[in-house]
Amino acid sequence: MRKNQNALISGASIAGPALAFWLKRYGFNPTVVEKAPALREGGQAIDVLGTATEVVRRMGLLERVHEFSTGKRGTSYVDADGRARATISSEVFNGVGAGGDTEIQRGDLARMLYEATHGDVEYLFGDFIAELAQDDNGVHVTFEHAAPRTFDLVIGADGVHSHTRRLVFGQESQFIRHMGYYISIYTIPNFLNLDHWEQDYNTPGKVAGAYSIRENTEAKAIFAWASDQLDYDYRDVESQKRMLAETFADQSWQVPQLLAHLDDAEDFYFDAMAQIRMDTWHRGRVTLVGDAGYCAAPLSGQGADLSLVGAYLLAGELAAAAGDHTVAFARYEQEMRPMVDACQKFAEGVGTWYAPPSNTMIRVRNANVRLLPYLPWRGLIGGAPQKVARTVVVRDYAA
Ligand SMILES: Cc1cc2nc3c(=O)[nH]c(=O)nc-3n(C[C@H](O)[C@H](O)[C@H](O)COP(=O)(O)OP(=O)(O)OC[C@H]3O[C@@H](n4cnc5c(N)ncnc54)[C@H](O)[C@@H]3O)c2cc1C
């Protein structure tokens, strides 16, 4: 007999709806609570690579993911006058375009996962877990708005600043590891007339760029910069916009034009690039999935992949253990840990490539980019994200 039918998932972005999908497939009864009043749009284009592509295929969503592919062909690293100093194709860079792997807008993927589940999964928008207490009978949850309920299991899929993690494991400061960079992204008009293309402009420790989306009808402005400071209010959007504008105030290329759209940016995203490192992701009847448990930072380029694979493994192990969380949570950690370790390690080296710390390093990076297609070992460099994305091979779990 299956135990623990009723699961509450906190967070409806990538990990939450993906987990709800698989739990429902295996006969569980998931409920998803999301703090935002509606599904959150926005964010960067994300790569769906390797094992995550296989997971999406098993969900029956691969064709749909391809329909929404950004189709980005490559990136130019430009100088202050907009001249390309180095150019690289997406396929050489990270294998996107090969073997079904693709790049898609984060918001499109989130919507797709939501649409695949909302017909038979209960979603509570505009609410969150205020308190929870667990005993042998379940997890007793008090919501901010809805009436209290008891669930068999609770899963935190509420991102890098997870509230579920804080309630169950304690303060974020114990687990967060700053990578030394900030990132910000928002939608702009495609005034650079980019054609499925990205342009990046570097100054020491900083990168400002833009890439076209939605068949070149729009673009995203993207900024990243080195900073040791991790002291900012991740809920205060106006001060984040000010921080971004001040950091890039003295820049040339098209930076002033990119910043001119800051005030109107409705999907503004800003965060310190940070990792979450925990010895264990479960305590009793509660566990974590995605960024909440093992954020690898945007530098890894694999946050969505980790969420998709983690959700698949967690639901699969629960099904395989007939709902026994004492067995399933430990097996999920065992299966998932190698991919998490590989992604977190991979991210450590990416910052100096993306935002080199000096003009010399920028020139060295550009020279490497120019040479890459001709190097016999180009597969080793371009194939590195692919290798990381395939760290885990997923097995079939009986439905
Ligand atoms: C709007 C948005 C934009 C993003 N943009 C980028 C980007 O540009 N670049 C990048 O690398 N990564 C971005 N991310 C993070 C990226 O989505 C994740 O790294 C990755 O996809 C893993 O997803 P996740 O589902 O684990 O966590 P997340 O995508 O962070 O999702 C967490 C979800 O939990 C919700 N939530 C938060 N607190 C609570 C709470 N107390 N109760 C209930 N729900 C809660 C959030 O609203 C969100 O929907 C963005 C995330 C969001 C939500």
Q: Is 198 in the pocket of ligand 1 (CB under 6 A)?
A: no
Tokens coding 16: 């939450």
In this structure, are residues 81 and 105 in contact, taking their beta carbons and an 8 Å threshold?
no
Pairwise CA distance, residues 170 & 165, whole Å: 7
**What values do phi and psi take at 260, rounded to 5?**
-65, -20
Separation of alpha carbons 160 and 172, rounded Å:
9
Residue identifier of the C-alpha nearest atom 18 of ligand 1: 303
For ligand 1, atom 14, the nearest C-alpha belongs to 43
CB atoms within 10 A of CB 258: 25
Q: For position 100, what pLDDT does the model report?
A: 63
Q: Half-sphere exposure of residue 198, counting CA atoms within 13 Å on the CB side? A: 23
13 Cβ inside 6 Å of ligand 1: yes
Q: Structure pTM?
A: 0.92
Cα separation of 101 and 110, whole Å? Answer: 17
- Which tens digit of pLDDT belongs to each residue from 49-68? 889 999 999 999 999 999 98
Evaluate whether 315 touches 15 at the Cβ level (below 8 Å).
Answer: no
For ligand 1, say whether the CB of 159 is within 6 Å of any of its atoms: yes
Whether 220 is in the pocket of ligand 1, judged by its Cβ within 6 Å, is no
Q: How far is the CA of 14 from the centre of ligand 1 (A)?
A: 7
Atom of ligand 1 nearest to the CA of 160: 30
pLDDT for residue 390: 83
Pairing of strands 218-226, 176-189: antiparallel
Token digits for 59? Answer: 């969900």
User: Helix 303-320 vs helix 325-348: angle between axes, to the nearest 10 degrees?
Assistant: 160
Q: Which of 13, 125, 308 to mutate to test the pocket of ligand 1 (most atoms within 8 A of CB)?
A: 13
Instruction: Tally Cβ neighbours within 10 Å of residue 81.
Output: 7
Centre of ligand 1 from the C-alpha of residue 372, in Å? 33
Tell me phi and psi for residue 89, to 5 degrees.
-85, 155
Q: Using most ligand atoms within 8 A of CB, pick from 56, 128, 158, 237 the residue to mutate for ligand 1.
A: 158
In this predicted structure, what is the pLDDT of residue 1? 61
Ligand 1 pocket check for 211: Cβ under 6 Å: no
Looking from the CA of residue 128, the nearest atom of ligand 1 is 42
- Residue type for position 253: W
Q: How far is ligand 1, taken at its centre, from the CA of residue 270, in Å?
A: 11
pLDDT digits (tens, 9 = 90+) for 333-347: 999 999 999 999 988
Residue 24 alpha carbon to ligand 1 centre in Å: 22
Q: 12, 112 in Cβ contact below 8 A?
A: no
Query: Tokens 């290329």 appear where?
Result: 253
Nearest alpha carbon, ligand 1 atom 51: 43
Q: What is the pLDDT of residue 335?
A: 96
- To 5 degrees, how large is the angle CA 236–CA 241–CA 242? 100
Q: Is the CB of 11 under 6 A from ligand 1?
A: yes
* DSSP β-ladder status, 286-288 and 282-283: antiparallel
- Using CA atoms in the order 214, 43, 34, 144, what is the torsion angle rounded to 10 degrees? -140
Ligand 1, atom nearest to 304 Cα? 21
Q: How many CA atoms lie within 13 A of 213 on its CB side?
A: 23
Q: What ranges make up the beta strands (E) of the chain?
A: 6-10, 29-34, 45-48, 74-78, 84-89, 102-105, 122-125, 129-135, 138-143, 149-151, 153-156, 176-189, 197-203, 206-213, 218-226, 269-276, 282-283, 286-288
Q: Which runs of E-coded beta strand occur in 59-125?
A: 74-78, 84-89, 102-105, 122-125
Atom of ligand 1 minimally distant from the CA of 301: 11
The residue type found at 64 is R
* Burial class for 83, CB neighbours closer than 10 Å (0-12, 13-18, 19+): exposed
Residue among 99, 13, 102, 56 at smallest CA distance from 308: 56
Per-residue model confidence (pLDDT) at position 368: 86
**Side chain identity at residue 277, one-letter code:** R
Question: For the chain, how many residues are written?
Answer: 399
C-beta of 302 in contact with ligand 1 (< 6 A):
no
Q: Do residues 44 and 185 touch, judged by C-beta distance below 8 A?
A: yes
- Which residues in the chain land under pLDDT 50? none
